[in-house]
Amino acid sequence: MFELRDLYQQVIVDHNKSPRNFGKLETFNHEADGYNPLCGDRLHVYLNVNSDGLIEDVSFEGEGCAISVASASLMTDAIKGTPLSEFSQKFDMFQHMVTADLDEVPDDEALGKLAVLSGVREFPSRIKCAVLCWHTMKSAVSDSDEVAKTE
């Protein structure tokens, strides 16, 4: 049987307790808000893209459950230093992973650490927590004024 530890793996607990890239960037050229009012999960992401189209720095602020905080922390780690043009592909990959059939094995190589969140598939009511940061980042990338939500 699927165990709680498969969802709350140590990596997730750790990223929730000490989120990476947390706080406001001093210099940024993209930002966006994400808010799931039913949950109360709230995020703000900052993004600094340089003239070469590289995500030079990225951060987030906010509050939420362990899944949403850990997911945001892992996301920022995963996209920091990568070309902005690759974001949409990563977004799709993550979205696919958390909504895929349970018997589909996540592509650890492509997903890297993000794969620890694949357990969320077992908990349909929590998928929205894992994807909020990604939708918020998508808003930031496209300079949308709309507050992202996933519920």
Partner 1 sequence: MSIDLNAVRADFPILDQQLYGKPLVYLDNAATTQKPQCVIDAISHYYEHDNANVHRGVHTLSERATAAYEGARKIIAAFFNARSEREVIFTRGTTEAINLVASSWGGANIRAGDEVLITHMEHHSNIVPWQMLCEHVGATLKVVPINEKGELIMAAFDELLSERTKLVGVVHMSNALGTINPISTIIEKAHAVGAKVLVDGAQAAAHVAVDVQAVDVDFYVTSAHKMYGPTGIGVLIAKESILEAMPPYQGGGDMIRVVTFEKTEFNDLPYKFEAGTPHISGAIGFGRAIEYIQSIGFAAIEKREKELLAYATAKAEAFEGLRLIGTAGTKACVLSFVLEGVHPHDLGTILDREGVAIRAGHHCAMPVMQFFKVPATARASFSIYNTEAEVDALFAALKKAQEIFS
Phi, psi of 61, deg, nearest 5:
-135, 165
Among 28, 54, 56, 66, binds partner 1 (CB under 8 A): 66
Exposure on the CB side of residue 90, measured as CA atoms within 13 A = 25
The reply to whether 100 sits near partner 1 by the rule CB under 8 A is no
**151 is a site residue for partner 1 (CB under 8 A):** no
- Per the CB < 8 A criterion, the answer to whether 65 and 129 are in contact is yes
- In the region spanning residues 115 to 144, those forming contacts with partner 1, defined by CB under 8 A, are 123, 125-126, 129
Instruction: Please tell me the distance from the alpha carbon of residue 146 to that of residue 140, in angstroms, as a whole number.
Output: 10
In the chain, the amino acid numbered 13 is V
| 15 in contact with partner 1 (CB under 8 A) | no
Which residues here bind partner 1, judged by CB under 8 A? 1, 4-5, 7-8, 13, 16-17, 37-42, 63-67, 123, 125-126, 129
